[in-house]
Structure 1
């Protein structure tokens, strides 16, 4: 037996005596960021992936189709009391979001529906089909007092299913008819479709649009936000909106330390060149189930950076992955968070961008009284 054969035999004997641990291949669903349907914090049961011996773990993940369900809502305007937000009311006509951003702070809200913040959030969606009619009724109420409405602050109002259902356009049409101010943040270029409605409102001081841009790296964006518009496409949308006379801004959100924070200054500069004059940023937020989902995503796509990213997050969150206190939840605390705030401030000063939201007019508001008349006064019956 020659020396080469002896070495091969020794190697094989070693493998037989000490077999290597099985490396499980993570499931990757095409066009989806999450890789599992992690149970919610309200679910008493837990699920684990096991090898059944039939090679199922080596199979490709099945196609995951989007399912849209009706949400039987009784109201559409959500009033909030958050001192770190520049608005006091929001409107969300979609629940869940097909953009599938792995970092989305709204993912845990799917747990209230008995669904998973993981794949369910981006594939099992709910729509409030009567959103426009509900809005008419609330605007026409005698006690309603006008103030800017922030549209789509929970999930993106221009996510892909909007192409079919057009609820966002219907809502903006109602606001236009009533001269009611609104602001909107989106990652989608579909907002260009509604320039014909938004531009006339902007001319009256009734509308402003923000584009959320997380990174300039297309490969990172494809994994972070699999069904959102590419970064360069969002800059093009900013340019088109600005050219149409619509006040625009950019949200550098979220800022992920050691992964996307290096792009902050470049994003602000390119957004300014595209016509944006307002800017804001949000430090990565990981409430509830989102912490495990994001960490699993990091290990899947950026295993060598995962520990560094999470270390900086915890340094900025008092040793935790998240702090929910007003003020801290958006910015974080500590050396890295302070440096981030300083970088943002200097960049905005250099470019002449303002961090303040645009003051929108409320004095033009006038809702059609007939919108709120489910039963006309002359049709009401007396009690006796």
Structure 2
């Protein structure tokens, strides 16, 4: 792990990179000048593969709050910025633009860890005015991405949750979650935890193209089964549904989730905010050129003739006839499989704030 050096990665040729989601680095919306690679005929060697770097994010606070009516939670916590899973469709990619980095390959190769997250969480929970409500982990990154194996920030956060009896939920694409099944199960025994496993496709080759460093589909289903067997409420999040790419798998994904212990399910339709739209178009042109025009046409129809619809109520599921068809298919499949649409309600009455003195004791004292 090194200190943050706010410099974008070197220019990378716009071609698929093995093990990465984005085709290359795109300019973000805060860029004052545009750089383009120019082929002068002298370039003979293949461009070097982008290396993953872990930086320190010296965050001053750790809990984010929102009042969005369609999210289902009002507090979230992200122990990392960026995500090595490299899902091409990730709606969080544009957050790297705030760091002066590209939402393209930079988002999946320049990762920021928040080593102070457990301490900051303890301090915020100890504040006199804190009101307990479920904290969602991994809303703008995956809390169980590969670096978590070594950093163990998510595990440390769960230990704070267990100590304070605070309700917590997570959405992940990683089978690494089973490493912490002891903590998730103990929390679940007090109605304090819930896990959602994100499923996109059962097709292995397609998964490697869409989300190259996330756990394989079968590994996620096996993880879901282990969570359910341990008494942890498990939800299947079918996300995102992409017309012409994976939407035909909706019923199969739900059936597989039910078979592996899921008690509830939800779905979302692909969102293309800011720089995600050109990144996804490039991905289509490389991996599904024969479908690209049709896929984008249906997506624009779902979004009111725009690349992205930010409006509450429609941004998750889309607009129009195709969106209604998806809604009906999902409802019928869930009814047939006895899958709930709502996530379980967690208990907020057990919360015990950490002693304020303990929180202050972990903070460096002022010199003045």
Do the two structures share a fold, i.e. TM-score over 0.5? Answer: yes
3-state SS, counterpart of residue 16 of structure 2: coil
The match for 2:22 is 34
3-state SS, counterpart of residue 330 of structure 1: coil
2:297 is the counterpart of 1:281: no
The match for 2:280 is 294
Within 5 A, what are the aligned runs for 1:1-150?
Answer: 26-56=14-44, 59-150=45-136
> Once the 2 structures are TM-superposed, how far is the Cα of residue 299 of structure 1 from its aligned partner?
0.1
2:190 is the counterpart of 1:211: no
Q: How many angstroms apart in 1 are the aligned matches of 2:355 and 2:302?
A: 50
Q: How many angstroms apart in 2 are the aligned matches of 1:373 and 1:279?
A: 38
Cα deviations across residues 102-140 of structure 1 (Å, max 9, x unaligned)? 000000010001000000000001111100000000111
2:229 is the counterpart of 1:261: no
Q: How many angstroms apart in 2 are the aligned matches of 1:37 and 1:274?
A: 38
Q: How many angstroms apart in 2 are the aligned matches of 1:61 and 1:330?
A: 38
Cα deviations across residues 76-99 of structure 1 (Å, max 9, x unaligned)? 010111011111110011000000
TM-score with structure 1 setting the length: 0.89
The match for 2:9 is none
Cα deviations across residues 164-219 of structure 1 (Å, max 9, x unaligned)? 11100000000000000011000000000000111011011000101001011111
Q: Which has the larger radius of gyration?
A: 1
> Which of structure 1's runs of 4+ aligned residues deviate more than 6 A?
none
The match for 1:270 is 256
TM-score with structure 2 setting the length: 0.93
Contact in 2 for aligned 1:27/1:61 (Cα 8 Å): no
Give structure 1 stretches of 5+ with no counterpart. 1-24, 380-384
Contact in 1 for aligned 2:14/2:24 (Cα 8 Å): no
Q: How many angstroms apart in 2 are the aligned matches of 1:143 and 1:107?
A: 33
Cα deviations across residues 212-249 of structure 1 (Å, max 9, x unaligned)? 01011111100000000011111101111111111101
Contact in 1 for aligned 2:201/2:217 (Cα 8 Å): yes
Q: How many angstroms apart in 2 are the aligned matches of 1:129 and 1:42?
A: 28
Cα deviations across residues 51-102 of structure 1 (Å, max 9, x unaligned)? 111144xx43312211111111111010111011111110011000000000
Cα deviations across residues 312-332 of structure 1 (Å, max 9, x unaligned)? 101111111111111111011
2:171 is the counterpart of 1:185: yes
3-state SS, counterpart of residue 316 of structure 2: helix
2:328 is the counterpart of 1:317: no
2:206 is the counterpart of 1:220: yes
Q: What is the RMSD computed on CA atoms of the aligned residues?
A: 1.6
The match for 1:303 is 289
